[in-house]
Structures are given as C-alpha cells and as structure tokens.
Amino acid sequence: MLSYLVFLPLLFAIFAYFLNDKSVKINAVIFSLIIVILNIYAFISNDLRFAYTLINTINFGIILDANNIALLLALVANFMLFISMCFFDDYKKDFLICAMILSSCMNGLFFTNDALLFYIFWEVSLLPLLYLMLKHNQAVLAKRFFIFAFLGSILMLLSIIYLALNSFNSSIMNFNMAYFSTSSFTMKEKTLLFLGFFLAFIIKAPIFPMHSWAIKTYDKAPNFVSVMLVAFKMAPFGFLKFLVPLFADVIAQYHNIILSLCLISALYAALLAASAKNYKELCALSSISHIGILSLGVFSLNQIAITGAVFYMIAHAIVSGAMFLFADIIYKNTKTYELDKLKGLAFANPKLSLVFGILLFSSISLPLTINFVGEFMVLYGLFENARIYGIIATFIVVLGAIYMLKMFRECFLGQDNKLILKANLYQKIILGFLCFLCVLLGVVPNLILELI
C-alpha cells in the first residue's frame, strides 16, 4: 500500500503531461482524491512494509515502513493537496505535474526507512515548488530559497553518510535507518552529526536564525506554494525521525540553547507580526511563530509535549493552510494584501467573515478549537520540564492573540466597506469544512490523539 502512495502520483504526473488544459481541473481533483483514499486505507491495512534493494554494495533501496505519526502527517499533507486542487482553478497541466511530483516526494519522505532515499525525497520535493515560484516571476526568491535549503541539506547528507559507514551489525555502508545507532560515538561525534541534521531541519522549519528566507517566500510565492509549505511538515518530522531517537543525549546536554532558539524564533516572528501591514506577511510570521512553539514541544523531551507537538503539526497544517487559501480570495477580489485597504469587509461579506473568524479563533488557540489542544499539551509539558520556557511561550501565545485580533478588527470591522469578496461554491464548501474540522478536532481531539 505504501508503495502505491509513493509511486502512483508519479504515474499521475506522467498521465497529466498528455492532458489538455480543459481537463486538468477534474483530473487534478480525481488524482488527489485517490491519493487521500489510499492514505486512509493504509490506516486499516496491514500492508505497511515494502522493501526492494537497488544497490547491494551499500544496502541502498526502497525501504518503506510507516507508523501512525508518519501516516497522519502524510494524510494531512495529501488532504491539503486535495483541498488545493479543488480550491484553485487558474492552473494548467504543468501545475498538476508539479503537484503530483510533490505528493510522491511527501509520501516517500514520510514513509521511507532508508536515509539516503529520505535525502533524495527531501531534495526533489524542492523542485516543483521552485518551478512554480519561477513561473510566477519570483526568480530572486526561488534562488534564495534554493541556496538556504541546499546548503543545509549538504550537511545532512554528510551526517547520513557517516552514520551509514558506522551502522550497526554491518561490514558495508548501510543506509537502512533500522541499523543506525550512535551508542558507540563520542559526544563530539554525536554533536557534529546532530548539527548536520539540525541545521538542515531548522532551515526548512524554519527556526531562528535560519528563518529569513521563509517570510518573503510565504508572502510572495503563489498561494498554492504557501499552502503546501505549511502543510508539508518535513522538518518537524525530521526532528522526530532522526534527532529525538538518535541524539537525545545531545539535546539534553544543549537543552537550553536549543529551546532558546525555538523560543526566540516564536517571539521574534510574533513581534514582527504585531507590526505587519500585509495580510500574507502576517500569516507567514504567525506560522513561523507557531512552528517555534511546536518545536519547543519536540525538544522538551517530555512525552506529553511531544504528543502535543505532533497534534499541533496537524492543526497548524489545517489552520495556516486555510488562512493562505483565504488569502487567494482576498487578492482575487481586491488585488491587494495591504491591511489598511481591507477595512470593513464584514459589512458586505458576513458569511465569509464568520468563516474567517472561526479560522482566526483556531489560530489563536481559543479553547474548543484544534490549535488549543496541541498548544496546551506543549505548554503543559514545558511547565513540567522547562518552566521558564513555558512561561515565556505562554506570553507569546497571548501576543499572538493580540495581533491576530487586531488584524481581524482592521480587515473586517470598522468603516463600512462595500467591497464584496466573491467565492465560488466549492471554495465556500472547502472553507466551511476546514472550519468544521477546526471545531470537531478541538472538541473531540482523541480522534487524533489515540492514533499518535
């Protein structure tokens, strides 16, 4: 089953090449829906392992093995891809080809147990996003994104090769992560290996001080790229896949430094968001701040906080993804993201304003919404293991509520604005369904928590 999720999207991408532009939309919806259905079926299937050796001399091959966390993160990414295929309608077949390649890379990265293949999926997943950015005349942005991501990835590759050369119970280089162990390494070796992975992951997350590329990328990139960047939790998954199991002692030794970086990232982004004048830039900064909070949960090494961080990854993908979808409606109707030009939208758009309000309340972690569950568990775990960080993180959460409510007041309330935001029926249904998920999973979080 996992092999279908990895390779079927590639077949869809090839098929998409032969489509005419008029049939792209319906095929995009069908392809992405099939992927979501297969992902759901994987939860009830026992066929969750696949192995095929490609190069015997280095024991490199296609090794797929998924746990519930990998399945959940893949499902939310594939679900947001399906939502995007339904939501956006101004694309051609090259867009669909990029989306299917991205889906294949997402599933491969979540499911592979071969470290070299993980790296390949990690790198290739950049290509469709870079292509879409270049197509939308964002060459400078794409170049900056590539340089940041590539330099970090090289360090990760070196760490992977070193681990493969020293893998457990093997006389050859072995990329199977089941044989990776750091128990025989010195602390210096472990620290250097940890840094190789850590730098690659915090660039993509993004975490301070490697966050600067993300603000402009989220802001200026096509909305589909922004949605997928927040939906595809590749870096937080990397934290759980490599750093926590292999380098727990390094994290413990440098605990304060790592938590401080996450905290600074969350606080710095929140402070910038408080003065943002652009809707997409504010959403981008808010997203980066949330990533800082969930990263605190992962590196707290507290089980409740880690569980909450995984839940928060799912919540963040849904809520932040929906906020960027809403950005598309705003821009197509107003041709601007400037907050001072969007005052009073609620008067002419009461229903869409209600939808946006629910998403906003989810974003600021109002109790009985989806973000609240993950954020509360992360903060609870921090107060157990690192109380001072928990106190500061709570202040950042409050700050987030202040600047998001201020944005809602400026955009939707105030003067009587006659500007109508037009959205088609599918877009209204999609946003309504995402609001429903925000409330449902906030009221009954065990639907997800029992699977983590």
pLDDT in tens, the chain (452 residues): 788 888 899 999 998 888 887 888 888 899 999 999 999 888 887 767 766 666 766 667 778 888 889 999 999 999 999 999 989 877 788 888 989 999 999 999 999 988 988 999 998 988 888 888 887 767 777 777 778 777 778 889 999 988 888 876 656 677 888 888 887 888 998 999 999 999 999 888 888 887 777 777 777 778 888 888 888 889 999 999 999 999 999 999 999 999 999 999 999 999 988 888 888 888 888 989 999 999 999 999 889 999 999 999 999 999 999 999 988 888 888 888 887 777 777 777 778 888 888 999 999 988 999 999 999 999 999 998 888 999 999 999 999 888 888 888 877 776 666 677 787 888 889 999 999 999 999 999 999 998 87
Under 8 Å between Cβ of 54 and 61: yes
Lookup: tokens for 440: 């449902």
Does a cis peptide bond (omega within 30 degrees of 0) precede residue 128?
Answer: no
Q: What's the pLDDT at 386?
A: 85
Q: What's the pLDDT at 58?
A: 66
Q: What's the pLDDT at 103?
A: 92
Q: What's the pLDDT at 47?
A: 67
